[in-house]
């Protein structure tokens, strides 16, 4: 590899050349050991013989997906049915393409033992009184506890409860957590506001109500825009682990896999425990590796010691 020649010039000469748009490499220095000094820059300006500094090339545009015509040419005309995109699918495609191209993602994963959480959930649901129709007044899911744990973890690690902007970092007081909901034709993420201050039962009721209105396409923009983090849970589909794409302006998203019996080592001996794998996607502009690991450790502690969710 060829070395780049170093240009020797005084600080004043560099400043004058920069202000005038001159290329120092085009000048001959008359200072000690050929150093370019103030008089050399002024002489070049007077003669008009120095080249202008090369303009900075604009950044390459973001890659675009192949056109419909380009893609369709690979398939026989009668081998598919063409279903036009609705506005939701177009919005999802646009936002997630923007996210993966402009947000520097990195991923952290960890295993959580959830046997204590499952016992607590079972006891909590069993304590629900019966209504007039004989149905229990509440029934919480594991996902409700996960949302609560992430909200509290962000309070314990407030440096991760942030949003990146080009001018400043927004440090949030509340933990507003999105919950990914699959609906016909796409995906939407309604926001549980102030999740850290709500009980698991309140979170459960709110998720159920928002998800129902999401499937009916009745959510208002303020109910799914914003937030600082989100939970995407595919465990009910048998997915063990995966990585989710961050939904801007959020800085993180937690991808949750299924809980399943696995062999672990306890006190030096093999044992069976129910393990749930989670993966945290982070926006590296807002949350670096050590901070993301600290947030994930706080989440793991709350999930494995779930009485902390009720403190």
Distance from the Cα of residue 56 to its chain's centroid: 31
282 in Cβ contact with 108 (< 8 Å): yes
Residues catalogued as catalytic: 284
Alpha-carbon span 41 to 29, nearest angstrom: 9
Q: How far is CA 231 from the centre of its chain?
A: 11
C-alpha 269/C-alpha 23 separation (Å) is 70
User: Rounded to an integer, what distance in angstroms lies between the CA atom of residue 306 and that of residue 311?
Assistant: 9
Q: How many CB atoms lie within 10 A of CB 284?
A: 14
What's the CA gap between 141 and 159, in Å, rounded?
A: 29
Dihedral through CA 80, CA 86, CA 89, CA 93, nearest 10?
90
C-alpha to C-alpha distances, 294 to 153, 159, 210, 290, 298, nearest whole angstrom: 9, 10, 30, 6, 6
């Amino acid at each position: 590899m060829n070395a780049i020649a170093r240009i020797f010039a005084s600080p004043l000469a560099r400043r004058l050349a920069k202000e005038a748009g001159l290329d120092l490499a085009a000048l001959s220095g008359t200072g000690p050991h050929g150093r370019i000094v103030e008089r050399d820059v002024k002489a070049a300006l007077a003669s008009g013989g120095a080249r202008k500094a090369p303009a900075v090339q604009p950044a390459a545009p973001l890659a675009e997906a192949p056109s419909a015509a380009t893609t369709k040419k690979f398939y026989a005309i009668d081998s598919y049915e063409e279903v036009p995109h609705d506005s939701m699918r177009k919005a999802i495609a646009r936002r997630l393409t923007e996210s993966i191209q402009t947000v520097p993602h990195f991923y952290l994963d960890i295993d959580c033992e959830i046997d204590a959480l499952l016992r607590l959930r079972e006891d909590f649901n069993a304590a629900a009184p019966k209504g007039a129709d004989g149905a229990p007044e509440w029934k919480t899911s594991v996902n409700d506890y996960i949302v609560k744990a992430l909200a509290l973890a962000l309070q314990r690690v407030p440096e991760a409860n942030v949003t990146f902007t080009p001018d400043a970092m927004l440090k949030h007081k509340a933990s507003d957590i999105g919950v990914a909901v699959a609906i016909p034709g796409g995906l939407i993420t309604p926001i549980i506001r102030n999740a850290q201050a709500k009980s698991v039962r309140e979170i459960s009721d709110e998720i159920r109500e928002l998800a129902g209105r999401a499937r009916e396409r009745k959510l208002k923009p303020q109910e799914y825009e914003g937030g600082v983090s989100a939970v995407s849970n595919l465990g009910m589909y048998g997915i063990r682990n995966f990585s989710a794409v961050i939904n801007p302006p959020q800085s993180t998203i937690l991808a949750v896999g299924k809980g399943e019996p696995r062999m672990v080592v306890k006190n030096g001996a093999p044992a069976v425990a129910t393990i749930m794998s989670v993966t945290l996607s982070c926006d590296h502009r807002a949350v670096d590796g050590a901070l993301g690991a600290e947030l994930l450790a706080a989440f793991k502690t709350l999930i494995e010691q779930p009485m902390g969710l009720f403190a």
